[in-house]
Structure 1
Amino acid sequence: MRRPILLVLLLALLTAGCSGAAGPGAQSPSGDRWRPGPGTAWQWQLSGRLDTSVDVPVYDIDGFDHSRATVAGLHRDGRKVICYLSTGAWEDFRPDADDFPPSVIGRGNGWEGERWLDIRRTDVLEPLMAERFDMCRDKGFDAVEPDNMDGYRNRTGFPLTAADQLRYNRLIARLAHERGLAVGLKNDLDQIPELVGDFDFAVNEQCAQYGECDALTPFVEAGKAVFHVEYELPTSRFCADSRRLRLSSLLKTYELDAWRRPC
Protein backbone atom coordinates (compact mmCIF):
# COMPACT_ATOMS: atom_id res chain seq x y z
CA MET A 1 0.00 0.00 0.00
CA ARG A 2 1.37 3.44 -0.89
CA ARG A 3 1.82 5.76 2.08
CA PRO A 4 0.80 9.42 1.89
CA ILE A 5 3.81 11.49 0.85
CA LEU A 6 3.78 13.61 4.03
CA LEU A 7 3.89 10.48 6.19
CA VAL A 8 6.83 9.12 4.17
CA LEU A 9 8.75 12.36 4.62
CA LEU A 10 8.00 12.44 8.34
CA LEU A 11 9.25 8.87 8.81
CA ALA A 12 12.41 9.67 6.85
CA LEU A 13 13.15 12.68 9.03
CA LEU A 14 12.58 10.73 12.24
CA THR A 15 14.87 7.94 11.03
CA ALA A 16 17.60 10.40 10.10
CA GLY A 17 17.34 12.07 13.49
CA CYS A 18 17.72 8.79 15.35
CA SER A 19 20.71 7.68 13.29
CA GLY A 20 22.45 10.99 13.92
CA ALA A 21 22.34 10.65 17.71
CA ALA A 22 25.76 9.01 17.90
CA GLY A 23 28.12 9.38 20.83
CA PRO A 24 31.39 11.33 20.65
CA GLY A 25 33.44 8.29 19.73
CA ALA A 26 31.11 7.05 17.00
CA GLN A 27 32.11 7.26 13.35
CA SER A 28 30.32 9.65 11.04
CA PRO A 29 28.95 8.49 7.70
CA SER A 30 31.59 8.67 4.99
CA GLY A 31 30.01 11.81 3.55
CA ASP A 32 30.36 13.57 6.92
CA ARG A 33 33.79 12.45 8.05
CA TRP A 34 36.13 14.74 9.94
CA ARG A 35 37.98 17.26 7.77
CA PRO A 36 40.65 19.26 9.66
CA GLY A 37 41.40 22.72 8.31
CA PRO A 38 44.72 24.55 7.84
CA GLY A 39 46.46 25.62 11.04
CA THR A 40 44.80 23.02 13.30
CA ALA A 41 47.03 22.43 16.34
CA TRP A 42 48.07 18.86 17.09
CA GLN A 43 50.18 16.47 19.12
CA TRP A 44 52.03 13.50 17.60
CA GLN A 45 53.18 10.85 20.07
CA LEU A 46 54.20 7.34 19.04
CA SER A 47 56.42 6.29 21.95
CA GLY A 48 56.47 6.46 25.72
CA ARG A 49 53.56 6.76 28.10
CA LEU A 50 50.86 8.81 26.43
CA ASP A 51 50.59 12.34 27.79
CA THR A 52 46.95 13.34 27.37
CA SER A 53 47.37 16.78 28.94
CA VAL A 54 48.52 18.67 25.83
CA ASP A 55 45.86 21.29 25.12
CA VAL A 56 45.34 20.75 21.39
CA PRO A 57 42.31 19.57 19.38
CA VAL A 58 44.09 16.70 17.58
CA TYR A 59 46.16 13.73 18.79
CA ASP A 60 47.99 11.36 16.43
CA ILE A 61 48.82 8.10 18.25
CA ASP A 62 49.74 4.51 17.41
CA GLY A 63 46.71 2.48 16.38
CA PHE A 64 48.00 -0.84 17.70
CA ASP A 65 49.36 0.43 21.00
CA HIS A 66 46.24 2.20 22.27
CA SER A 67 42.82 0.94 23.28
CA ARG A 68 39.30 2.03 22.56
CA ALA A 69 39.20 3.36 26.13
CA THR A 70 42.18 5.64 25.44
CA VAL A 71 40.53 6.99 22.30
CA ALA A 72 37.26 7.51 24.18
CA GLY A 73 39.11 9.40 26.92
CA LEU A 74 40.65 11.73 24.36
CA HIS A 75 37.21 12.25 22.83
CA ARG A 76 35.81 13.19 26.24
CA ASP A 77 38.53 15.85 26.41
CA GLY A 78 37.31 17.24 23.09
CA ARG A 79 40.08 15.77 20.92
CA LYS A 80 39.96 14.22 17.48
CA VAL A 81 42.23 11.18 17.30
CA ILE A 82 44.32 9.94 14.35
CA CYS A 83 45.30 6.26 14.10
CA TYR A 84 48.94 5.85 13.05
CA LEU A 85 49.57 2.74 10.92
CA SER A 86 52.29 1.66 8.54
CA THR A 87 50.68 0.75 5.22
CA GLY A 88 53.78 0.68 3.03
CA ALA A 89 56.17 -1.24 5.26
CA TRP A 90 56.09 -4.52 7.18
CA GLU A 91 56.92 -4.35 10.90
CA ASP A 92 58.08 -7.50 12.65
CA PHE A 93 56.74 -6.31 16.03
CA ARG A 94 53.07 -6.03 15.04
CA PRO A 95 50.58 -8.73 16.08
CA ASP A 96 49.65 -9.40 12.43
CA ALA A 97 53.26 -9.65 11.19
CA ASP A 98 52.96 -13.37 10.41
CA ASP A 99 49.99 -12.70 8.11
CA PHE A 100 52.29 -11.11 5.51
CA PRO A 101 53.84 -13.67 3.12
CA PRO A 102 57.60 -13.38 2.53
CA SER A 103 56.98 -12.64 -1.15
CA VAL A 104 55.67 -9.13 -0.36
CA ILE A 105 58.44 -8.20 2.12
CA GLY A 106 61.41 -6.33 0.67
CA ARG A 107 64.44 -4.34 1.82
CA GLY A 108 64.73 -2.59 5.17
CA ASN A 109 63.48 0.99 5.25
CA GLY A 110 66.06 2.27 7.74
CA TRP A 111 64.08 1.57 10.93
CA GLU A 112 64.74 -1.51 13.05
CA GLY A 113 62.33 -4.34 12.32
CA GLU A 114 60.75 -2.63 9.30
CA ARG A 115 60.86 -3.60 5.61
CA TRP A 116 59.22 -2.16 2.53
CA LEU A 117 56.16 -3.90 1.10
CA ASP A 118 55.49 -4.78 -2.53
CA ILE A 119 52.56 -2.42 -2.99
CA ARG A 120 51.82 -3.91 -6.41
CA ARG A 121 50.42 -6.96 -4.61
CA THR A 122 47.08 -5.48 -3.69
CA ASP A 123 45.57 -8.97 -3.80
CA VAL A 124 47.57 -9.70 -0.66
CA LEU A 125 47.77 -6.29 0.96
CA GLU A 126 44.22 -4.98 0.55
CA PRO A 127 42.60 -7.49 2.96
CA LEU A 128 45.42 -7.05 5.47
CA MET A 129 45.11 -3.27 5.40
CA ALA A 130 41.33 -3.52 5.55
CA GLU A 131 41.66 -5.43 8.83
CA ARG A 132 43.94 -2.74 10.23
CA PHE A 133 41.50 -0.01 9.22
CA ASP A 134 38.68 -2.02 10.79
CA MET A 135 40.70 -1.93 14.02
CA CYS A 136 41.01 1.87 13.83
CA ARG A 137 37.29 2.23 13.20
CA ASP A 138 36.35 -0.20 15.96
CA LYS A 139 38.53 1.63 18.48
CA GLY A 140 36.71 4.84 17.63
CA PHE A 141 39.47 6.74 15.83
CA ASP A 142 38.47 9.67 13.62
CA ALA A 143 41.21 9.33 11.02
CA VAL A 144 44.19 7.31 9.82
CA GLU A 145 47.80 8.36 9.25
CA PRO A 146 49.15 5.73 6.82
CA ASP A 147 52.94 5.72 6.87
CA ASN A 148 55.56 4.77 4.27
CA MET A 149 53.47 6.00 1.34
CA ASP A 150 56.37 6.79 -1.00
CA GLY A 151 58.13 3.48 -1.49
CA TYR A 152 58.53 4.08 -5.21
CA ARG A 153 61.12 6.77 -4.38
CA ASN A 154 63.18 4.33 -2.29
CA ARG A 155 65.21 1.14 -2.68
CA THR A 156 62.47 -1.29 -1.70
CA GLY A 157 63.70 -4.44 -3.43
CA PHE A 158 60.81 -4.16 -5.91
CA PRO A 159 60.60 -2.26 -9.23
CA LEU A 160 57.88 0.10 -8.03
CA THR A 161 56.72 2.93 -10.28
CA ALA A 162 54.93 6.20 -9.67
CA ALA A 163 51.81 4.64 -11.16
CA ASP A 164 52.05 1.76 -8.67
CA GLN A 165 52.26 4.26 -5.83
CA LEU A 166 49.28 6.32 -7.04
CA ARG A 167 47.17 3.20 -7.36
CA TYR A 168 48.10 1.95 -3.90
CA ASN A 169 47.70 5.29 -2.17
CA ARG A 170 44.23 5.71 -3.66
CA LEU A 171 43.38 2.23 -2.43
CA ILE A 172 44.45 3.24 1.08
CA ALA A 173 42.31 6.39 0.89
CA ARG A 174 39.32 4.36 -0.26
CA LEU A 175 39.69 1.84 2.57
CA ALA A 176 39.65 4.67 5.09
CA HIS A 177 36.71 6.49 3.56
CA GLU A 178 34.63 3.34 3.31
CA ARG A 179 34.90 3.12 7.11
CA GLY A 180 33.99 6.76 7.73
CA LEU A 181 37.59 7.65 8.56
CA ALA A 182 39.50 10.69 7.36
CA VAL A 183 42.90 9.88 5.91
CA GLY A 184 46.17 11.80 5.53
CA LEU A 185 48.76 11.67 2.78
CA LYS A 186 52.12 11.02 4.45
CA ASN A 187 55.04 12.74 2.69
CA ASP A 188 54.95 11.67 -1.04
CA LEU A 189 55.34 15.31 -2.07
CA ASP A 190 55.78 14.70 -5.79
CA GLN A 191 52.33 13.13 -6.09
CA ILE A 192 50.40 15.77 -4.14
CA PRO A 193 48.88 17.34 -7.29
CA GLU A 194 47.39 13.95 -8.24
CA LEU A 195 46.37 12.90 -4.72
CA VAL A 196 45.18 16.05 -2.93
CA GLY A 197 41.60 15.28 -3.94
CA ASP A 198 41.78 11.76 -2.50
CA PHE A 199 43.06 12.71 0.97
CA ASP A 200 41.60 14.82 3.78
CA PHE A 201 44.86 16.22 5.19
CA ALA A 202 48.62 15.79 4.85
CA VAL A 203 51.34 14.72 7.29
CA ASN A 204 54.87 15.80 6.49
CA GLU A 205 58.31 15.32 7.98
CA GLN A 206 61.14 17.80 7.46
CA CYS A 207 59.85 19.81 4.51
CA ALA A 208 61.56 22.90 5.95
CA GLN A 209 64.93 21.17 6.29
CA TYR A 210 64.80 20.13 2.64
CA GLY A 211 63.17 23.29 1.26
CA GLU A 212 59.99 21.49 0.18
CA CYS A 213 57.17 23.07 2.20
CA ASP A 214 55.75 25.04 -0.74
CA ALA A 215 54.87 21.68 -2.33
CA LEU A 216 52.20 21.25 0.36
CA THR A 217 50.31 24.39 -0.72
CA PRO A 218 47.63 22.45 -2.68
CA PHE A 219 46.34 20.96 0.59
CA VAL A 220 46.08 24.37 2.27
CA GLU A 221 44.44 25.88 -0.81
CA ALA A 222 41.89 23.05 -0.67
CA GLY A 223 41.10 23.93 2.96
CA LYS A 224 42.91 20.87 4.34
CA ALA A 225 45.33 20.72 7.27
CA VAL A 226 49.03 20.00 6.85
CA PHE A 227 50.41 18.42 10.04
CA HIS A 228 54.16 19.05 9.86
CA VAL A 229 57.19 18.20 12.03
CA GLU A 230 60.85 19.06 12.00
CA TYR A 231 63.48 17.12 13.97
CA GLU A 232 66.76 18.94 13.43
CA LEU A 233 65.97 22.61 12.79
CA PRO A 234 65.25 25.04 15.64
CA THR A 235 61.81 26.65 15.52
CA SER A 236 63.47 29.96 14.63
CA ARG A 237 64.42 28.40 11.29
CA PHE A 238 60.97 27.28 10.16
CA CYS A 239 58.09 28.74 12.19
CA ALA A 240 57.84 32.02 10.27
CA ASP A 241 57.45 30.14 6.99
CA SER A 242 55.05 27.69 8.62
CA ARG A 243 52.80 30.52 9.73
CA ARG A 244 52.95 32.06 6.25
CA LEU A 245 52.01 28.75 4.65
CA ARG A 246 49.40 27.95 7.36
CA LEU A 247 51.07 24.66 8.34
CA SER A 248 50.47 22.98 11.70
CA SER A 249 54.14 22.74 12.64
CA LEU A 250 55.98 21.16 15.56
CA LEU A 251 59.55 20.51 16.57
CA LYS A 252 59.78 16.89 17.79
CA THR A 253 62.45 14.32 18.63
CA TYR A 254 62.96 11.36 16.30
CA GLU A 255 61.55 9.12 19.06
CA LEU A 256 58.22 10.96 18.77
CA ASP A 257 57.71 10.88 22.50
CA ALA A 258 55.57 13.41 24.37
CA TRP A 259 57.99 16.34 24.06
CA ARG A 260 56.94 18.99 21.56
CA ARG A 261 57.68 22.60 20.69
CA PRO A 262 54.94 24.14 18.53
CA CYS A 263 55.23 27.16 16.28
Structure 2
Amino acid sequence: MAAVAATGALALAWALTGCSTPPATVTLPPPGALPDYQLGDAYDPEAGVGVVGRDRGASPASGMYSICYINGFQTQPGEIESWPSGLLLQRDGETVFDPDWPDEALLDTSTAERRQRISDVVVEWVEGCAESGFDAVEFDNLDSYTRSHGALTLENNLALATMLVDAAHAAGLAAGQKNAAEDAPALHEHAGFDFAVTEECAVYEECGAYEAVYGEHVIDIEYADDLPRSFAEMCADDRSPASMVLRDRNLVTPGDEGYVFELCPR
Protein backbone atom coordinates (compact mmCIF):
# COMPACT_ATOMS: atom_id res chain seq x y z
CA MET A 1 0.00 0.00 0.00
CA ALA A 2 2.83 2.40 0.83
CA ALA A 3 4.41 1.81 -2.57
CA VAL A 4 1.12 2.59 -4.33
CA ALA A 5 0.66 5.82 -2.40
CA ALA A 6 4.22 6.91 -3.07
CA THR A 7 3.80 6.20 -6.76
CA GLY A 8 0.69 8.32 -6.98
CA ALA A 9 2.39 11.26 -5.32
CA LEU A 10 5.45 10.96 -7.53
CA ALA A 11 3.38 10.69 -10.67
CA LEU A 12 1.57 13.93 -9.82
CA ALA A 13 4.82 15.68 -8.97
CA TRP A 14 6.45 14.70 -12.24
CA ALA A 15 3.47 14.92 -14.57
CA LEU A 16 4.57 18.27 -15.99
CA THR A 17 8.24 17.40 -16.43
CA GLY A 18 8.12 13.74 -17.43
CA CYS A 19 8.72 12.33 -20.88
CA SER A 20 5.33 10.82 -21.73
CA THR A 21 5.70 10.31 -25.49
CA PRO A 22 8.41 8.32 -27.26
CA PRO A 23 10.88 10.18 -29.47
CA ALA A 24 10.27 10.02 -33.19
CA THR A 25 13.43 7.96 -33.64
CA VAL A 26 12.00 4.85 -31.92
CA THR A 27 9.33 2.39 -33.06
CA LEU A 28 6.87 0.91 -30.58
CA PRO A 29 5.79 -2.75 -30.66
CA PRO A 30 2.91 -3.30 -33.11
CA PRO A 31 -0.36 -3.17 -31.14
CA GLY A 32 -1.95 -6.58 -30.70
CA ALA A 33 0.97 -8.49 -32.21
CA LEU A 34 1.20 -12.10 -31.01
CA PRO A 35 4.30 -12.50 -28.83
CA ASP A 36 6.84 -15.15 -27.95
CA TYR A 37 9.22 -14.94 -25.00
CA GLN A 38 12.57 -16.65 -25.50
CA LEU A 39 14.90 -15.71 -22.66
CA GLY A 40 16.42 -19.17 -22.71
CA ASP A 41 17.92 -20.34 -26.00
CA ALA A 42 16.50 -18.66 -29.08
CA TYR A 43 14.53 -20.65 -31.65
CA ASP A 44 12.47 -20.00 -34.77
CA PRO A 45 9.14 -18.46 -33.72
CA GLU A 46 5.84 -20.11 -34.60
CA ALA A 47 3.81 -18.84 -37.53
CA GLY A 48 1.76 -15.79 -36.61
CA VAL A 49 4.18 -14.43 -34.03
CA GLY A 50 4.93 -10.74 -34.56
CA VAL A 51 7.04 -9.75 -31.56
CA VAL A 52 9.78 -11.72 -29.80
CA GLY A 53 11.67 -11.09 -26.56
CA ARG A 54 15.21 -12.50 -26.33
CA ASP A 55 18.18 -12.18 -24.01
CA ARG A 56 20.81 -9.56 -24.77
CA GLY A 57 23.27 -12.32 -25.71
CA ALA A 58 21.02 -13.58 -28.52
CA SER A 59 20.41 -12.23 -31.99
CA PRO A 60 17.06 -10.57 -32.75
CA ALA A 61 14.34 -12.58 -34.47
CA SER A 62 14.51 -12.06 -38.21
CA GLY A 63 11.63 -10.23 -39.83
CA MET A 64 9.71 -9.33 -36.68
CA TYR A 65 9.75 -6.80 -33.85
CA SER A 66 12.47 -7.85 -31.41
CA ILE A 67 12.89 -6.85 -27.77
CA CYS A 68 16.25 -7.21 -25.99
CA TYR A 69 16.07 -8.34 -22.36
CA ILE A 70 18.43 -6.65 -19.88
CA ASN A 71 18.53 -7.21 -16.13
CA GLY A 72 19.29 -3.62 -15.22
CA PHE A 73 18.82 -3.66 -11.44
CA GLN A 74 20.07 -7.10 -10.36
CA THR A 75 22.88 -9.38 -11.47
CA GLN A 76 22.20 -12.14 -13.96
CA PRO A 77 22.82 -15.73 -12.84
CA GLY A 78 26.47 -16.55 -13.37
CA GLU A 79 27.51 -12.91 -13.81
CA ILE A 80 27.87 -11.73 -10.22
CA GLU A 81 31.67 -11.98 -10.35
CA SER A 82 31.76 -9.51 -13.24
CA TRP A 83 30.31 -6.75 -11.05
CA PRO A 84 32.53 -4.70 -8.68
CA SER A 85 31.61 -5.60 -5.11
CA GLY A 86 30.96 -1.94 -4.35
CA LEU A 87 27.94 -2.01 -6.67
CA LEU A 88 26.25 -4.95 -4.96
CA LEU A 89 23.81 -3.98 -2.22
CA GLN A 90 25.05 -4.91 1.26
CA ARG A 91 23.16 -5.51 4.52
CA ASP A 92 24.99 -6.34 7.75
CA GLY A 93 28.11 -7.02 5.72
CA GLU A 94 26.37 -9.49 3.39
CA THR A 95 25.29 -9.13 -0.22
CA VAL A 96 21.50 -8.87 -0.60
CA PHE A 97 19.95 -11.39 -2.98
CA ASP A 98 16.48 -11.61 -4.49
CA PRO A 99 14.62 -14.14 -2.29
CA ASP A 100 12.80 -15.57 -5.33
CA TRP A 101 15.94 -15.69 -7.47
CA PRO A 102 18.75 -16.43 -4.99
CA ASP A 103 21.46 -16.29 -7.66
CA GLU A 104 20.60 -12.65 -8.45
CA ALA A 105 22.15 -9.97 -6.25
CA LEU A 106 20.57 -6.52 -5.99
CA LEU A 107 22.56 -3.64 -7.46
CA ASP A 108 23.06 -0.66 -5.15
CA THR A 109 21.22 2.29 -6.71
CA SER A 110 21.30 4.40 -3.52
CA THR A 111 23.77 7.09 -4.62
CA ALA A 112 24.35 9.09 -7.80
CA GLU A 113 27.92 7.79 -8.01
CA ARG A 114 26.82 4.15 -7.87
CA ARG A 115 24.00 4.74 -10.32
CA GLN A 116 26.47 6.23 -12.78
CA ARG A 117 28.80 3.25 -12.45
CA ILE A 118 25.90 0.83 -12.96
CA SER A 119 24.75 2.83 -15.95
CA ASP A 120 28.23 2.70 -17.46
CA VAL A 121 27.94 -1.09 -17.53
CA VAL A 122 24.31 -1.40 -18.61
CA VAL A 123 24.48 1.26 -21.33
CA GLU A 124 27.13 -0.81 -23.10
CA TRP A 125 24.60 -3.67 -23.19
CA VAL A 126 21.92 -1.32 -24.52
CA GLU A 127 24.20 -0.15 -27.31
CA GLY A 128 25.04 -3.78 -28.05
CA CYS A 129 21.32 -4.55 -28.43
CA ALA A 130 21.00 -1.71 -30.92
CA GLU A 131 24.07 -2.83 -32.86
CA SER A 132 22.64 -6.37 -33.03
CA GLY A 133 19.48 -5.04 -34.67
CA PHE A 134 16.91 -5.15 -31.85
CA ASP A 135 14.01 -2.70 -32.00
CA ALA A 136 13.57 -2.23 -28.25
CA VAL A 137 14.96 -3.09 -24.85
CA GLU A 138 13.20 -4.14 -21.65
CA PHE A 139 14.76 -3.47 -18.23
CA ASP A 140 14.01 -6.07 -15.58
CA ASN A 141 13.75 -5.75 -11.79
CA LEU A 142 12.74 -2.10 -11.69
CA ASP A 143 11.12 -2.99 -8.36
CA SER A 144 14.32 -4.28 -6.71
CA TYR A 145 13.89 -1.57 -4.07
CA THR A 146 10.95 -3.55 -2.65
CA ARG A 147 13.38 -6.39 -1.81
CA SER A 148 16.12 -4.17 -0.36
CA HIS A 149 14.96 -4.10 3.30
CA GLY A 150 14.53 -0.34 3.00
CA ALA A 151 18.06 0.37 1.71
CA LEU A 152 16.79 1.47 -1.72
CA THR A 153 13.85 3.65 -2.74
CA LEU A 154 11.61 4.07 -5.75
CA GLU A 155 13.32 7.42 -6.33
CA ASN A 156 16.74 5.69 -6.47
CA ASN A 157 15.56 3.21 -9.09
CA LEU A 158 13.68 5.83 -11.08
CA ALA A 159 16.85 7.91 -11.30
CA LEU A 160 18.76 4.98 -12.78
CA ALA A 161 15.83 4.00 -14.99
CA THR A 162 15.77 7.50 -16.46
CA MET A 163 19.44 7.19 -17.40
CA LEU A 164 18.85 3.81 -19.03
CA VAL A 165 15.76 4.91 -20.96
CA ASP A 166 17.63 7.97 -22.23
CA ALA A 167 20.43 5.69 -23.42
CA ALA A 168 17.95 3.39 -25.16
CA HIS A 169 16.31 6.30 -26.96
CA ALA A 170 19.70 7.69 -27.95
CA ALA A 171 20.49 4.30 -29.49
CA GLY A 172 17.20 4.30 -31.41
CA LEU A 173 15.50 1.71 -29.20
CA ALA A 174 12.08 1.85 -27.58
CA ALA A 175 12.24 1.22 -23.82
CA GLY A 176 9.98 -1.29 -22.12
CA GLN A 177 8.93 -1.29 -18.48
CA LYS A 178 9.14 -4.81 -17.06
CA ASN A 179 6.49 -5.59 -14.41
CA ALA A 180 6.10 -3.18 -11.42
CA ALA A 181 2.44 -2.37 -12.15
CA GLU A 182 2.09 -0.04 -9.17
CA ASP A 183 4.96 2.11 -10.45
CA ALA A 184 3.78 2.37 -14.07
CA PRO A 185 2.57 6.01 -13.92
CA ALA A 186 5.87 7.27 -12.51
CA LEU A 187 8.00 5.05 -14.74
CA HIS A 188 6.20 6.32 -17.83
CA GLU A 189 5.90 9.97 -16.89
CA HIS A 190 9.27 10.46 -15.23
CA ALA A 191 11.62 7.84 -16.68
CA GLY A 192 10.01 7.90 -20.13
CA PHE A 193 9.21 4.22 -20.69
CA ASP A 194 7.32 3.61 -23.93
CA PHE A 195 5.55 0.26 -23.42
CA ALA A 196 5.25 -2.57 -20.91
CA VAL A 197 6.31 -6.21 -20.82
CA THR A 198 4.42 -7.97 -18.05
CA GLU A 199 4.46 -11.37 -16.44
CA GLU A 200 1.14 -12.79 -15.28
CA CYS A 201 -0.78 -9.54 -15.31
CA ALA A 202 -3.93 -11.54 -16.13
CA VAL A 203 -3.38 -13.92 -13.21
CA TYR A 204 -2.85 -11.04 -10.79
CA GLU A 205 -5.51 -8.82 -12.41
CA GLU A 206 -2.99 -6.04 -13.09
CA CYS A 207 -3.30 -5.69 -16.87
CA GLY A 208 -5.57 -2.67 -16.56
CA ALA A 209 -2.93 -0.80 -14.56
CA TYR A 210 -0.50 -1.13 -17.46
CA GLU A 211 -3.07 -0.42 -20.17
CA ALA A 212 -4.15 2.75 -18.35
CA VAL A 213 -0.62 4.02 -18.93
CA TYR A 214 0.52 2.35 -22.17
CA GLY A 215 -2.76 1.65 -23.96
CA GLU A 216 -2.39 -1.11 -26.58
CA HIS A 217 1.36 -1.34 -26.03
CA VAL A 218 1.26 -4.03 -23.33
CA ILE A 219 2.84 -7.47 -23.93
CA ASP A 220 1.92 -10.14 -21.39
CA ILE A 221 3.49 -13.51 -20.62
CA GLU A 222 1.41 -16.00 -18.64
CA TYR A 223 2.91 -19.19 -17.18
CA ALA A 224 1.34 -22.63 -17.46
CA ASP A 225 2.13 -23.66 -13.87
CA ASP A 226 0.06 -20.90 -12.27
CA LEU A 227 -3.22 -20.51 -14.12
CA PRO A 228 -6.40 -19.97 -12.06
CA ARG A 229 -8.49 -20.87 -15.14
CA SER A 230 -7.89 -22.10 -18.65
CA PHE A 231 -5.79 -20.02 -21.00
CA ALA A 232 -8.70 -19.99 -23.45
CA GLU A 233 -10.85 -18.29 -20.81
CA MET A 234 -8.10 -15.75 -20.16
CA CYS A 235 -7.85 -15.04 -23.90
CA ALA A 236 -11.61 -14.43 -24.06
CA ASP A 237 -11.49 -12.00 -21.13
CA ASP A 238 -11.70 -8.38 -22.30
CA ARG A 239 -9.38 -7.42 -19.45
CA SER A 240 -6.50 -9.40 -20.97
CA PRO A 241 -4.10 -7.66 -23.38
CA ALA A 242 -4.35 -8.53 -27.06
CA SER A 243 -0.62 -9.36 -27.04
CA MET A 244 -0.50 -12.36 -24.72
CA VAL A 245 1.29 -15.73 -24.75
CA LEU A 246 1.32 -18.81 -22.53
CA ARG A 247 4.80 -20.16 -21.81
CA ASP A 248 6.49 -22.59 -19.44
CA ARG A 249 8.15 -20.78 -16.54
CA ASN A 250 11.64 -22.02 -17.43
CA LEU A 251 11.26 -20.77 -21.01
CA VAL A 252 12.74 -23.91 -22.52
CA THR A 253 12.90 -24.53 -26.26
CA PRO A 254 10.69 -26.70 -28.50
CA GLY A 255 11.57 -30.35 -28.08
CA ASP A 256 12.62 -29.91 -24.45
CA GLU A 257 10.55 -31.56 -21.74
CA GLY A 258 8.13 -29.07 -20.26
CA TYR A 259 7.99 -26.75 -23.27
CA VAL A 260 4.72 -24.80 -23.42
CA PHE A 261 3.73 -22.28 -26.05
CA GLU A 262 0.17 -21.19 -26.79
CA LEU A 263 -1.30 -18.11 -28.41
CA CYS A 264 -4.78 -16.67 -28.20
CA PRO A 265 -6.88 -17.51 -31.28
CA ARG A 266 -7.50 -14.81 -33.83
Superposition map of 1:175-190 within 5 A: 175-190=167-182
User: Which residue of 219, 226, 232 corresponds with 1:227?
Assistant: 219
Name 1:8's counterpart in structure 2: none
Give the aligned length.
220
Structure 1 pair 229–49 and aligned structure 2 pair: CA distance change class (3 A): closer
CA contact (8 A) 1:36 1:200 kept: no
Q: Read off the aligned partner of 1:255 and give its amino acid letter.
A: N
2:85 aligned with 1:102: yes
2:56 aligned with 1:88: no
Deviation, structure 1 residue 146: 1.2
Mapped to 1, the partners of 2:247 and 2:240 lie a distance apart of: 19
Structure 1 pair 230–135 and aligned structure 2 pair: CA distance change class (3 A): same
Mapped to 1, the partners of 2:243 and 2:146 lie a distance apart of: 25
CA contact (8 A) 1:61 1:81 kept: yes
In structure 1, runs of 5+ residues without a counterpart are 1-29
Name 2:48's counterpart in structure 1: 55
Report SS of the residue matched to 1:153: helix
Q: Read off the aligned partner of 1:256 and give its amino acid letter.
A: L
Deviation, structure 1 residue 157: 5.6
User: Which residue of 86, 106, 122 corresponds with 1:116?
Assistant: 106
In structure 2, runs of 5+ residues without a counterpart are 1-22, 90-95, 254-259
Name 2:11's counterpart in structure 1: none
Could you report, residue by residue, the CA deviation over 1:234-262 in whole angstroms, capped at 9, with x for unpaired residues? 31442233x44544111111112343112
Report SS of the residue matched to 2:251: coil
CA contact (8 A) 2:208 2:239 kept: no
Q: Read off the aligned partner of 1:199 and give its amino acid letter.
A: F
TM-score, normalization by structure 1:
0.76
Mapped to 2, the partners of 1:151 and 1:165 lie a distance apart of: 8
Mapped to 1, the partners of 2:214 and 2:88 lie a distance apart of: 35
Name 2:234's counterpart in structure 1: 238
Structure 1 pair 165–176 and aligned structure 2 pair: CA distance change class (3 A): same
Mapped to 1, the partners of 2:52 and 2:202 lie a distance apart of: 22
Name 1:208's counterpart in structure 2: 202
What percentage of residue pairs aligned between the two structures are identical?
31
Could you report, residue by residue, the CA deviation over 1:33-78 in whole angstroms, capped at 9, with x for unpaired residues? 11124322211111245233443121111111x2xxx43xx33xx2
Name 1:38's counterpart in structure 2: 31
TM-score, normalization by structure 2:
0.75
CA contact (8 A) 1:146 1:186 kept: yes
**Which structure has the bigger radius of gyration?**
1
Deviation, structure 1 residue 100: 1.6
User: Which residue of 125, 129, 142 corresponds with 1:132?
Assistant: 125
Deviation, structure 1 residue 124: 1.4
Could you report, residue by residue, the CA deviation over 1:148-171 in whole angstroms, capped at 9, with x for unpaired residues? 1111222x3661112112222222
Q: Read off the aligned partner of 1:101 and give its amino acid letter.
A: P
Deviation, structure 1 residue 127: 0.4
Q: Read off the aligned partner of 1:250 and give its amino acid letter.
A: V
Could you report, residue by residue, the CA deviation over 1:159-206 in whole angstroms, capped at 9, with x for unpaired residues? 111211222222221111111111100011111112224112101111
Structure 1 pair 261–92 and aligned structure 2 pair: CA distance change class (3 A): closer
Q: Read off the aligned partner of 1:248 and give its amino acid letter.
A: S
CA contact (8 A) 2:88 2:106 kept: yes
Q: Read off the aligned partner of 2:88 and give its amino acid letter.
A: I
| Moved segments of 4+, more than 3 Å | 243-247
2:174 aligned with 1:173: no
Report SS of the residue matched to 2:106: strand
